[in-house]
Amino acid sequence: MGYGHVVPGPSYRLLIGAPKTSQTLTTPFSHAARGHSVTAGAAAIFAIVPVLLAGPLALVASPEISKPAVDANVLAREVMRNEIQAQVRDQSLWSFRKIEEKDGHKDTFEVCQTNAGEIKRLIAVDGRPVDAEQRRAEDARIHSLLAHPGQMRREVKKDHEDAEQSRQLMKMFPDAFHFHYAGNEGELVKLEFTPNPSFHPSGHAAEVFYHMTGILVVDAKQKRLAEINGTLTSEVKFGGGIFGHLDKGGTFDVKQENLGSGHWEVTDLVVHMVGKALFFKTIDVNQDDKYSNFKPVTRAITLAKAVQLVGANEDAHALQN
């Protein structure tokens, strides 16, 4: 999914530490960051998620660390550069399934991207297919969306803006941290990152970098980012606390996978974060999103065809259950 096309929907709009009234967040290593959001409510990753924040890395380091010939800081810079270039080049559109767990509830959506926006449909709640009433409510919501294209255009515009801010954060990332080899598993290499005291951030978002440590997991051969997780090691105050803060201990964990032909997509996003935003709005995010069933769709797909596709996928899901 490339930055060249934008689909409204889930963008994580608390973009790395920049306090806003929305509790969604945006990350450059994700569907939303690429210009396509994954479903309404949120969409995806990285320096990303400094404010996204999440859990421990799943990979286990080998007893002996096999270090690539290149310096860890150089490798991290090459991966970030390649990640940005790949996102800009990628013009693909996809349909996929999103499972969103938050506050003890699990919602399952079928999603389809188009050049004009993203269509998503709720198909199950807490593992049970939607009932007739819920289905009628989804029909009405989608019909209203199609009847008022201005709303979708606003979402598309916002996603473009979020994507650009995310790219800027990714560009800063190699300068904001020192990187060290921390293990490997096959072609995946783990790089530990810690704040670079010489880095001088510009803007509230980049201030988070001073307070964050974590692990990058990279495909050293393809120079792509497979996973990033991080933890806030101290409280982050924006504008001396006037504009908000993020509590110490916030975490994030984001994973993406190679779908083939150079297409990488986010498959897991876990966020645990607490703090205060502007005007004393409480930030309390405990979210676990999973993305699967990726299928490419033609770039010529219309919103009407996307509605049909998510409906057909819902029917297939109901038959399976």
Q: What's the pLDDT score for residue 208?
A: 85
Q: What are phi and psi of 67, to 5 degrees?
A: -90, 130
pLDDT surpassing 90 at residue 88: no
Q: Which residue has the higher pLDDT, 28 or 100?
A: 100
Q: What's the pLDDT score for residue 109?
A: 97
Sign of CA dihedral 33, 257, 285, 242: negative
Give residue-wise pLDDT tens across range 99-151: 999 878 999 999 999 999 899 999 999 999 999 999 999 999 999 999 988 88
Nearest one of 49, 51, 44, 46 to 17, comparing CA atoms: 51
Give residue-wise pLDDT tens across range 222-250: 999 999 999 999 988 876 766 777 889 99
Q: Which residue has the higher pLDDT, 188 or 207?
A: 188
Residue 97 and residue 316: Cα distance in Å, rounded? 12
Give residue-wise pLDDT tens across range 39-71: 222 233 343 343 333 333 333 344 455 566 789
Domain ranges of the chain: 15-320
Q: What angle do CA 155, 82, 78 make, to 5 degrees?
A: 135
pTM (predicted TM-score): 0.77
3-state per-residue secondary structure call for 154-188: HHHHHHHHHHHHHHHHHHHHHHHEEEEEEEEECCE
Q: What are phi and psi of 36, to 5 degrees?
A: -125, 125
pLDDT surpassing 70 at residue 290: yes
Q: What's the pLDDT score for residue 318?
A: 61
Q: What's the pLDDT score for residue 129?
A: 94
The SS3 of residue 138 is helix
- Range with the lowest mean pLDDT among 87-101, 152-166, 170-184, 286-300? 152-166
Contacts of 307 by beta carbon, 8 Å cutoff, 6+ apart: 112, 119, 121, 142, 146
Give residue-wise pLDDT tens across range 156-184: 888 888 888 888 889 999 999 999 999 98
Contacts of 140 by beta carbon, 8 Å cutoff, 6+ apart: none
Q: What's the pLDDT score for residue 136?
A: 96
Residue 134 and residue 107: Cα distance in Å, rounded? 12
Q: What's the pLDDT score for residue 163?
A: 82
The confidence band for 267, taking pLDDT boundaries of 50, 70 and 90, is very high
Query: The tokens of 107 are what?
Result: 């919602």
Q: What's the pLDDT score for residue 134?
A: 96
Contacts of 294 by beta carbon, 8 Å cutoff, 6+ apart: 94, 95, 96, 259, 265
User: What integer is the mean pLDDT of 284-301?
Assistant: 92
